[in-house]
Structure 1
Amino acid sequence: MNRPLRALMQGLTNALVKSPDRMVTNLFEQWRLFFSQSIDYTEAFGGRKLEPLKKWVRKAGLEVKSPQEAERFFFALHTYFAPLVKLLAWLALSRYMAVKLGGPSFGELVSADSDALQRHLRDLESGGIFRAYGLTNLLEGDFFAWYLFAWNDRIETALRELLKRLDEYDPATLSIHPEESRDLFKKLYHYLLPREIRHNLGEYYTPDWLAQRLLNQVDSDFFTADPHRNEARLRQKLLNLRWLDPACGSGTFLVLIIARMKELGQALFVNETELLNAILNNVVGFDINPLAVLTARVNYLLAIADLLPHRKGEITIPVYLADSVRTPAMGEDLLTAGTYQFSTAVGTFYAPACLCTKERFDRFCNMLEESVRAQISPDAFVQRVERELAPPNWQRGDAERARELYEQILSLHRQGMNGLWARLLKNNFAPLTVGQFDYIVGNPPWVNWEHLPDGYRESIKDLLIR
């Protein structure tokens, strides 16, 4: 781990401090906006709490002298872990979909020239490898693709070393059982980050036995009843109960719910396509940790991988990078009334409230991204929205807000800073658009109220203290 992580840390420091790169800076700042909502690094790694981290990072040949440097270190560490998850996901899925996806040839990537390697990695990071086969949001061009904008010899060497190690990995040892693949991701993360440091970050992973015990208590009928004696009732629950984990972490609760749904589906002879649709519509997760969302999506996908041959159309994994407590706020003044707002590292986006519904918002965000990529005119974009999405209560002001949002993202695209803003909108607005649930289950972050960042604590105080 030492050399690749050290190279990423040096590359990040160079792109943020020594020779600032605008895109890398924006990706880092956006990661901070999400991740620091629940973590105050001054609190988590201030004073004596910094010592365990300083001691541990020395093993990687690095130094961390302040909470600010700790932030950069964790961003680099997450960047190191993220490609591992993505590449292992490709490897695991190839065992189910080898004919369509093809098995990954890490050896060919290791020997590719620099330009070819960058093209392959850019395709991976954008989700192209998976999206071409109907998996729309497994990878969405996330924050951890910053290294493509800061590419240099050290970063290239680090990634080649990572690929070389994966090429030496025996894919036969990667179990096709999702719970064992999930354990692999947990073990990797625990290896990268010692327990004391994880706990300073409020990260406590829920063991399967405890999560299953909680689920049994939430609905013992669904999880323990004999399907052959309760067929009609359990079939109705299987196809209609909706589950949300609002702080899903790596997806433990989601995967256990999916496992029971598959067990019931088999026992009750439910059509595989119908079962897959029920899972995708009814088992949903949110988290504000980008790395957790990536891992949970991969675990979710591995849990349904054997059902993928029965899919009809594209698949969206319903795990979202979103804050389940502090949702997008409705504008209150004359200029922002009728909109929901979302603050980012590149400014505040305002979306017409009438489009922020389950039926419309995902399509609106997809339309934003497609139109920006095609660089159509703002007039043409508004006309398309009005033709395909506008609700009966659509007004002139809504058209202006849609135009302004499009122009804002189009401007970012022309500055070379597009790629994820429309997707961030889609994710962040998910708490408003995914509908209602029968059960909310999970294990929220273990961060004391007084240890939350001041700004975040103040922003949610009215929700929690009456």
Structure 2
Amino acid sequence: MLSRMRRQRYSLKREGKVANSWRGDRLPDIVRSMASRPRHEALRGLITELLREGFGAAFSELEHERYLVDNSGRIDVAWGATVIELKSDLRREERDVVARMPDYLADASRGSAPGRTTVGLATDGATLLAYTLDLGRLTSIGRYDVDVDHPERLLTWLEPLLSPVPEVMPTPIAVALAFGRYSLAFGRAHAQLQRLWSEVGDHPEVRLKRNLWDGLLRQVYGDDVGSDALFLQHTYLTILVKAIAARVLDLEIGDPAEMLSGRLLANEGIVGAVEADFFDWPLLATGGDDLVRSLAAETIRFRLRDVKVDVLKSLYESLIDPDERHDLGEYYTPDWLAARVVTAAIPRPLEQRVLDPSCGSGTFLFHALRRLIEAGRQAGVPPAEIVETCADRVFGIDVHPVAVALARVTWLLALGDLVQDRPPTLSVPVYMGDSMQWNLRPLGASAEVLVDVPPNDPPLRIPAGLASDQHLFERALDELNRGLDTLAEPEAIRHAIALAGATTEDAAMLGQTFAQLKELYLDGRNHIWTFILRNLLRPVWLSHPDHRADVLIGNPPWIVYRHLSADMKDRLREALRSYNLWVGGSLATQQDMCALFWARGAERYLRDGGVLALVLPYAALNAPVFAGMRDGGMERVRVAIIGGWGLERVWPIFGAQSGSSTTSTCVLFGERDRAGPPPAEFDRWVGVLPRRDASEAEAAEVLAHMRAAWPRPRTLLAASPYRTRFRNGASLFPRRFVLVEYAAAGRLQSRRDAPRLRGRVGSLDKRPWTGVEPPEGPVERIFVRRIALGESVAPYRLLDLVTGVVPMESGAILTAASADARGHRGLAAWLRDAETKWNEHSNKGVDGAPRMTLTRSLNHLQKLVAQAARSPIRVLYTKAGNAIERVLARGRRCDYRPQGLLVGRQLTRRSRVRCCRPEHEYCA
């Protein structure tokens, strides 16, 4: 009864004019007062008003200064299963909260309703910390710093904990606050997932799924980025989006296994939106069912049929640590930009077949579907026919397993109310597959698809010709599954597949594949293979001439060559060479994966005369490394650029969380089987958006459009006459092997001529070096240098320099062996430790040896030995940034003994300046 009354009061407050007036007039004042960290009683009054007016708490339900059962303390504020501890300043008192909160939560849990999680909040007004008990142990589940510019966000953050009714509009901000990295929902779930993982992480089937997931991420990012922490994060997100898919249809989630496997939606005639995948492993652990149910319950608060944009991408981005987001390149396309590209590229949405080969969370799919639906309604097409057309016209592929889960639900959300008019069977055409088809291998006159089996088993082999026939392939999969259920002999399966219509050669290959699957089944590594085979072979089907698209649209991965693993570097180089897009030489490190998406996407997925519309780096408009794309000189497929948008003057687009765009952006439009140079002009957009996820209306209000001459191609021929006087700084990498700090010494202290040093650990360290212990020990002082980095330069002045160990003597770079031979024992020991770790963790070649020695890396392109000569004056400027900062250094600041100032790669330097007026000591 009490809960029902609370819901009624809350609902009335949310809908009434009084609530709207309070939120608009009073809530900003409350948040402003809280941000000032008011005194204890003033804060109590603010919290009480927040609970009563914001969440419908009755005065009689709130308990103040409630004594614990054992009289060992008092709870400041209690409301149902929530206890609130008021503090003066959590920056000083957080330790006290951690000590006392377990007692408060244990006391409150005695009187809470069965199945209700007791949560503790600690606040000084400016900051709120949330905790719960997990098996009697205090677990932090969330943190929120109040934002006086957005007072409503405080209520949004608290709603998962306190809101009793489904009233929340599913905006990107609301979804990210409710389920993102700092949300209460994620905090609680993450603690439980860690416990479940410790229980079943070594189970054979779970380990197989973890390894297969890791292999797919290597294809996505071109390097080893998988970790247990990221796997748990992806598990949380996948469970959440599968629950959202069920909520779109207003389905009750009873059996967690039904929801995670997709059976719940399949019973309603929707297939392909949810499948059994890598992330159902919690069901094998004790308490896994409860975790899934609790996460599913969190989604009920959102009115999901009111979705206007792709809200799931903001949720995914909000879960990734900011540093990790930069490393992974996890920045999705803003909705306003996707909507504009869709409008320009798809003039006939009811007729054109659309494919996004790297669909991510499904932003382009969402807007393509909305455009198709609007066109269908205007043309008077019946709703059921519109839904069927959507399933036949708008497709997506992505190799990232979590992106696919997001995109499938986004595809479903795009239908809105039309989901009620779906046909008896609706198949969501979004597939987990490798659109670049790295696993497609020529085999005589045909080809085969190789599917990796971790950790070291031979790959599964599937005939590409059979995979391109969807009906025959599904029948073959059915035979493979039937054979595993009955433990049939491989010969019987070969015969059955041949009778289904496969060629003799294809049936024989699948008979051998079944023999491998049977061994995996008997080894307990079975339940994932139908999902893997069905999805990874979809690109082969979509590349069949009868199934190709009229429009290829999207935002492909921007991954430059230098950031790829050794294996992926070789693959990309050979692939670009096959299209005559490899430039090499000094531009090799700038070659980009997105160029391959342009060429291979057009060749394999686009019909003759079809159109490409891809979001690309701005460099695609004029950089030499993209010249082959622009001039139509590609081999194997012809694509002429028919239009372009310059977005370099639009801010922010990507990377708004860091305060600036990640890189300048453009959109290129191309047409297959057409030749010719780019147009003489392109469209330039200019304007400052209110935020990165601005709406279409907000973007239209601030963006101006103009026609401008196509950017002049950059060349390596015309260069500044000063170019030869400047060089990039040295590549002092890994940073923790070179940059140092003085280590604590014992009673005897360090030697003056060989101070004890330790490699400096910092936020700019990159994987895999973040997990490598830095060297430590005494090093001869003659090798301890002062180094200028990008952080050392500001306008008009040189800031503090950093200390580093630089193994250079008389213009030569020393190795551990050569340092030892010259009698430098301390440096030799330092380098011996560093070289051992470098050989273990650096990128390897095909022979398993490091592709480059540590010494060669430090002196890459002779950038270190070039600084051996002294110079009385040097000009330094930062390597990159929105505002380039320069400084001219002379005199003692330029000549740090014993061998002068050294410059790191974040700076570009000019040395041996011949003259300088005395008043120009520093210039910027």
The answer to whether the superposition gives a TM-score over 0.5 is yes
Q: CA-to-partner distance for each residue in 1:324-365, whole Å, 9 max, x for gaps? A: 1234323548xx975332223254111123312144454245
Q: Give the distance between the partners of 1:399 and 1:188, measured in 2 at CA.
A: 44
Q: Give the distance between the partners of 1:423 and 1:279, measured in 2 at CA.
A: 23
- 1:39 to 2:221 alignment: yes
Would the alpha carbon gap of residues 379 and 277 (structure 1) be closer, same or farther in structure 2, given more than 3 Å must change? farther
Q: What letter is aligned with 2:449?
A: Y
- 1:401 to 2:509 alignment: yes
Shift of 1:209: 0.6
Would the alpha carbon gap of residues 457 and 281 (structure 1) be closer, same or farther in structure 2, given more than 3 Å must change? farther
Q: CA-to-partner distance for each residue in 1:237-294, whole Å, 9 max, x for gaps? A: 4443111111111100001000010001111122334322322122111111111100
Would the alpha carbon gap of residues 140 and 372 (structure 1) be closer, same or farther in structure 2, given more than 3 Å must change? farther
Q: Give the distance between the partners of 2:278 and 2:299, measured in 1 at CA.
A: 27
Match of 1:28 among 191, 195, 210: 210
1:206 matched to which residue of 2?
333
Match of 1:429 among 519, 523, 537: 537
2:294 matched to which residue of 1?
164
Q: CA-to-partner distance for each residue in 1:49-94, whole Å, 9 max, x for gaps? A: xxxxxxxxxxxxxxxxxx7xx6111001111111111112211221
1:128 matched to which residue of 2?
263
Shift of 1:443: 0.9
Q: CA-to-partner distance for each residue in 1:18-55, whole Å, 9 max, x for gaps? A: xx22111111110010012233666xxxxxxxxxxxxx
Q: What letter is aligned with 1:343?
A: D
Q: Give the distance between the partners of 1:31 and 1:161, measured in 2 at CA.
A: 21
Q: Give the distance between the partners of 1:365 and 1:314, measured in 2 at CA.
A: 21
Q: Give the distance between the partners of 1:443 and 1:381, measured in 2 at CA.
A: 42
Structure index of larger Rg: 2
Q: Give aligned pairs, total.
A: 386
Q: What letter is aligned with 1:340?
A: V
Q: CA-to-partner distance for each residue in 1:395-454, whole Å, 9 max, x for gaps? A: 2x3222121222322333343322221221121111110221111111122332211222
CA contact (8 A) 1:338 1:352 kept: yes
Q: What letter is aligned with 1:453?
A: S
1:447 matched to which residue of 2?
559
Report % sequence identity. Answer: 27
Query: Which shows bigger deviation, 376-385 or 293-302?
Result: 376-385
Q: Secondary structure at the match of 2:449?
A: strand
2:358 matched to which residue of 1?
247
2:277 matched to which residue of 1?
142
- 1:2 to 2:187 alignment: yes
Q: Give the distance between the partners of 2:266 and 2:492, measured in 1 at CA.
A: 26
Q: Give the distance between the partners of 1:213 and 1:80, measured in 2 at CA.
A: 32
CA contact (8 A) 2:349 2:375 kept: yes
1:112 matched to which residue of 2?
none
Q: Give the distance between the partners of 1:15 and 1:179, measured in 2 at CA.
A: 39
- Give the structure with the higher percent strand: 2
Match of 1:389 among 501, 504, 523: 501
Q: Secondary structure at the match of 1:179?
A: coil
Q: Give the distance between the partners of 1:125 and 1:165, measured in 2 at CA.
A: 12
Q: Secondary structure at the match of 1:280?
A: helix
Query: Where do 5+ consecutive residues of structure 1 fail to align?
Result: 43-66, 95-101, 106-119, 223-236
**Structure with larger RCO (C-alpha < 8 A, sep 6+):** 1
Pairs within 5 Å for 1:289-438:
289-304=400-415, 306-332=417-443, 339-345=448-454, 347-360=458-471, 362-364=473-475, 366-368=477-479, 370-372=481-483, 374-375=485-486, 377=488, 378-390=490-502, 394-395=503-504, 397-434=505-542, 435-438=547-550
With normalisation by structure 1, the TM-score equals 0.75
CA contact (8 A) 1:38 1:452 kept: no
Shift of 1:296: 0.3
Would the alpha carbon gap of residues 368 and 198 (structure 1) be closer, same or farther in structure 2, given more than 3 Å must change? farther
Would the alpha carbon gap of residues 139 and 373 (structure 1) be closer, same or farther in structure 2, given more than 3 Å must change? farther
CA contact (8 A) 1:4 1:161 kept: yes
CA contact (8 A) 2:440 2:447 kept: no
Query: Which shows bigger deviation, 190-199 or 162-171?
Result: 162-171
Q: What letter is aligned with 1:131?
A: A
Query: Which shows bigger deviation, 341-350 or 316-325?
Result: 341-350
Q: Give the distance between the partners of 1:144 and 1:286, measured in 2 at CA.
A: 19
1:270 matched to which residue of 2?
381
Superposed CA RMSD: 2.8
Shift of 1:164: 3.5
Query: Which shows bigger deviation, 445-454 or 71-80?
Result: 445-454
Q: Give the distance between the partners of 2:383 and 2:296, measured in 1 at CA.
A: 33
Shift of 1:384: 3.5
Q: Give the distance between the partners of 1:292 and 1:248, measured in 2 at CA.
A: 8
Would the alpha carbon gap of residues 367 and 168 (structure 1) be closer, same or farther in structure 2, given more than 3 Å must change? closer
2:239 matched to which residue of 1?
83
Shift of 1:295: 0.6
Q: Give the distance between the partners of 1:9 and 1:249, measured in 2 at CA.
A: 27
Shift of 1:14: 5.5
Q: Secondary structure at the match of 1:140?
A: coil
Q: Give the distance between the partners of 1:405 and 1:73, measured in 2 at CA.
A: 33
Q: CA-to-partner distance for each residue in 1:380-402, whole Å, 9 max, x for gaps? A: 53344233333xxx22x322212
CA contact (8 A) 1:246 1:442 kept: yes
Q: CA-to-partner distance for each residue in 1:181-233, whole Å, 9 max, x for gaps? A: x32x33433332244432221111111111122223324xx1xxxxxxxxxxx
Q: Secondary structure at the match of 1:301?
A: helix
Q: What letter is aligned with 1:287?
A: D
Shift of 1:369: 5.5
With normalisation by structure 2, the TM-score equals 0.39
1:179 matched to which residue of 2?
308
Q: What letter is aligned with 1:387?
A: L
Shift of 1:464: 1.6
Q: Secondary structure at the match of 2:452?
A: strand
Q: Give the distance between the partners of 2:472 and 2:568, measured in 1 at CA.
A: 26
Q: CA-to-partner distance for each residue in 1:140-194, whole Å, 9 max, x for gaps? A: 2111112233x13xx53xx6356336536654x32313435x32x3343333224
CA contact (8 A) 2:248 2:305 kept: yes
CA contact (8 A) 2:273 2:428 kept: yes
Q: Give the distance between the partners of 1:438 and 1:169, measured in 2 at CA.
A: 37
Q: Give the distance between the partners of 2:292 and 2:540, measured in 1 at CA.
A: 39
CA contact (8 A) 1:9 1:76 kept: yes
- Give the structure with the higher percent helix: 1
Q: What letter is aligned with 2:278?
A: F
Q: Give the distance between the partners of 2:298 and 2:362, measured in 1 at CA.
A: 28
2:669 matched to which residue of 1?
none
Q: Give the distance between the partners of 1:351 and 1:430, measured in 2 at CA.
A: 12
Shift of 1:375: 2.3
Would the alpha carbon gap of residues 338 and 286 (structure 1) be closer, same or farther in structure 2, given more than 3 Å must change? closer
Query: Where do 5+ consecutive residues of structure 2 fail to align?
Result: 1-185, 581-924
1:189 matched to which residue of 2?
316
Q: Give the distance between the partners of 2:408 and 2:453, measured in 1 at CA.
A: 23
CA contact (8 A) 2:274 2:405 kept: yes
Q: Give the distance between the partners of 2:498 and 2:416, measured in 1 at CA.
A: 37
Would the alpha carbon gap of residues 368 and 311 (structure 1) be closer, same or farther in structure 2, given more than 3 Å must change? farther
Q: What letter is aligned with 2:332?
A: Y
Q: Secondary structure at the match of 1:438?
A: strand
Q: Give the distance between the partners of 1:384 and 1:134, measured in 2 at CA.
A: 29
